[in-house]
Chain A
Amino acid sequence: MSVSTFDVSGQRVLHPGVDEFIDLVAELKEEGFNMVVDLTAVDYSLFPNRTDLPENVKPERFEVVVSMINHQTRERVRLRIQIQDENPVVPSLFDLYPGTEAMEREVYDMFGINFSDHPDLTRILMPEDWVGHPLRKDFSTGQIPVQFKSSKAKR
């Protein structure tokens, strides 16, 4: 599999494409990476000229970051998956690692990135009827009155 590897201060970082992502995770699971420690995302829209990507990886607006650990060899690996701005979809890791359920829901809630085949892709931290995804860089803070469900004020 042609996945670019990159070493960042002693940590192994892989850059799979969206299509090869799930196969790579399955392969890593076979290899002995027995836990997905963390799953999060970054919105790079205000930081377009980053330099920490290998040449053959096209930078996109969103990046899903998955940290995995191999308890036997005490190795860690980080997967950074570039996801386009329009209709961002990533395959869910739920079938391989059920522990990603809450983390994927959080990323969906905060970034609006969809995880296909996720069993319960709903908001987890924000209220169900919230509009927008707070950790996106274009979601401004401090200017919107707090959205209480019963509030009569303009939203």
Chain B
Amino acid sequence: MTSEVIESREHSNATPKNDERVRLRDGSAVLRISDSEATSMVESTSTEIVDPSEETRMILNMGPSHPSTHGVLRLILELEGETVERSKPVIGYLHTGMEKTAETLSYSQGSTNVTRMDYASPLFTELAFSLSVEKLLQIEVPSRATWIRMLMCELNRISSHLLFQATNGMDLGAVSMMIYGWREREEVLRFFEKVTGLRMNHNYIRPGGVAVDLHDGWQTDIKRLLEIIPPRLDEYDDLLTGQPLFQKRLQGVGVINTAEALALSATGPILRSTGYDWDLRKDEPYLAYDQVDFDVIVGTHGDSFDRFAIRLNEVRESLKIVEQILELMPSGDYRVQDKKITPPPRARIDESMEALIHHFKIFTEGFHVPPGEVYAAVESPRGELGCYLVSDGTSNPYRMHIRGPSFVNLQTLPHMMRSGLIADAVAVISSIDPIMGEVDR
């Protein structure tokens, strides 16, 4: 099923690969030409036409710095009039070799690095990294640490989805939505700043627990958030969900079905928008997600509107989880009391020689992790975020690989954009919600 739906490979195999123009006519939605080929085609003035339909098609370059591409995503579009026939996302403009960098950083420094990948939801990458290190160390973090992680991650899911609401509205011309989405996100970020000291790139979730305990009176701050956000989500419904213009821009645009989404390894809201119920929090519960009650939101049509609605309602579900965490938060340690892994409290360093030594060792050499390889996955706002870690027994990872949901989900883009209008391309990019920092790493 999948190979027929997604790619007509038979077609492309039947044609000689060296004939570029014939290769470009294969049945797939992906325009498989390279950067230089695209450039030469854009600049070419050649009038030699092999295929009559070629005359009406043109190659258009969009990006890498285009306001609707959320950073530095570049698209090569093949247009027939105003219709996008095939396209190719060109990425790598933000590539900084973070997986290579990770090999030179110790495990305790590692979360500082990974947090910069998905900058809209940094805590999830930290969580995936920490979970995989803990799996290799075979340690169990205290329950309070687990619940703090859950609280912070759900708040991060809220802030990330609010950012999506803002940018999605902006991309579609509902510019005031940008201000509203940003405003609510700011409230959540203010809480993050209070807990972690930073609004983004927190380096808060670390192997062994979290960096610091929640501040006194955190419950009051959470209660305030729980009061502020829900009525504003209802305002979004008034402003966007029910508006005929907004619906017309999104409904039936960028449709993907379950078979296609599965074949293209798409996860998160893209997969769920097709009506497929798959959420790692429910299906492979990590942290303490099996102890809280929430619903997995699924769509019906697999279009951009469903993806918008799923993200909006996931905010509501996350608020439900946060409310339960408020009740259930256990007391205790916020990190493992293993002196070989967690640094001693600052006050202990002045009075204990051993504490000083441990502190020194952890911050210079780092802690050693038994050799082995492990994969840990979490459900980030964009889908399955996995961390594959190989340890050789030293204090640096031998190899660290992050399975970025944005990177993989971006493959659905040509299929969603196919035979759509170029104006809809913007809506489709927006509905995938890619974070280029995670795509390029």
Contact (Cβ within 8 A) A124 B92 = yes
Given known pairs A119-B9, A120-B32, the reply for A37 and B403 (CB within 8 Å) is yes
Tell me, in angstroms, the Cα distance from A98 to B377 when the chains sit together.
21
**In the complex, which residue of chain B has the Cβ closest to the Cβ of A130?**
B92
Interface of B is mostly: mixed
Q: Is A88 an interface residue (CB 8 A)?
A: no
Given known pairs A9-B135, A99-B264, A99-B265, the reply for A37 and B99 (CB within 8 Å) is no
Q: Is B401 an interface residue (CB 8 A)?
A: yes
Q: Is A31 an interface residue (CB 8 A)?
A: no
Neighbour of B265 across the interface among A8, A95, A97, CB < 8 A:
A97
Contact (Cβ within 8 A) A134 B100 = yes
**In the complex, which residue of chain A has the Cβ closest to the Cβ of B372?**
A52
Q: Is A126 an interface residue (CB 8 A)?
A: yes
Neighbour of A42 across the interface among B32, B104, B278, B398, CB < 8 A:
B398
Contact (Cβ within 8 A) B262 A37 = no
Given known pairs A9-B138, A50-B392, the reply for A37 and B34 (CB within 8 Å) is no
A-B contact count, CB below 8 Å?
Answer: 122
Given known pairs A36-B265, A119-B7, A120-B30, the reply for A102 and B95 (CB within 8 Å) is no
Contact digits for A12-51, partner B, Cβ 8 Å, 1 yes 0 no:
0000000000000000000000111110101100110011
Q: Is A100 an interface residue (CB 8 A)?
A: yes
Q: Is A5 an interface residue (CB 8 A)?
A: no
Tell me, in angstroms, the Cα distance from A123 to B374 when the chains sit together.
27
Tell me, in angstroms, the Cα distance from A65 to B390 when the chains sit together.
11
Residues on B with C-beta less than 8 A from A37 are 265, 267, 377, 384, 386, 403
What is the CB-to-nearest-CB distance from A30 to chain B, in angstroms, rounded to a whole number?
13
Contact (Cβ within 8 A) A122 B7 = no
**In the complex, which residue of chain A has the Cβ closest to the Cβ of B260?**
A98
CB interface residues, B 129-148, toward A, < 8 Å = 135, 138
Q: Is B351 an interface residue (CB 8 A)?
A: no
The number of residues on chain A lying at the interface, defined by a beta carbon within 8 Å of a beta carbon of chain B, is: 47
**In the complex, which residue of chain A has the Cβ closest to the Cβ of B392?**
A47
Given known pairs A40-B401, A102-B407, A102-B410, the reply for A141 and B92 (CB within 8 Å) is no
Contact (Cβ within 8 A) A99 B372 = no
Contact (Cβ within 8 A) A38 B407 = no
Neighbour of B6 across the interface among A35, A98, A139, CB < 8 A:
A98
Residues on B with C-beta less than 8 A from A50 are 371, 392
Tell me, in angstroms, the Cα distance from A46 to B408 when the chains sit together.
29
Residues on A with C-beta less than 8 A from B398 are 42, 46-47
Tell me, in angstroms, the Cα distance from A55 to B104 when the chains sit together.
31
Residues on A with C-beta less than 8 A from B374 are 8-9, 11
Tell me, in angstroms, the Cα distance from A127 to B36 when the chains sit together.
11
Contact (Cβ within 8 A) B410 A65 = no
Q: Is B91 an interface residue (CB 8 A)?
A: yes
Q: Is A89 an interface residue (CB 8 A)?
A: no
Residues on B with C-beta less than 8 A from A110 are 99
Tell me, in angstroms, the Cα distance from A52 to B389 when the chains sit together.
14
**In the complex, which residue of chain A has the Cβ closest to the Cβ of B276?**
A71
Given contacts A38-B375, A74-B284, A102-B407, 8 further A-B contacts (CB under 8 A): A42-B399, A43-B399, A47-B392, A65-B388, A67-B403, A71-B278, A102-B411, A134-B97
Give the A-binding residues of B (Cβ under 8 A).
2-3, 6-7, 9, 12, 28, 30, 32, 34-36, 91-92, 95, 97, 99-101, 104, 135, 138, 262-267, 278, 283-284, 371-375, 377, 384, 386, 388, 390, 392, 398-399, 401, 403, 407-408, 410-411, 440-441
Question: Closest 3 CB pairs between A and B?
Answer: A99-B265, A120-B32, A125-B92
Q: Can you list 24 pairs linking A and B with CB atoms under 8 Å apart?
A: A8-B374, A9-B372, A11-B375, A35-B262, A37-B386, A38-B375, A42-B373, A50-B392, A74-B283, A74-B284, A94-B7, A94-B9, A95-B9, A98-B3, A98-B263, A98-B264, A99-B263, A99-B408, A102-B407, A103-B408, A110-B99, A119-B7, A124-B92, A125-B441
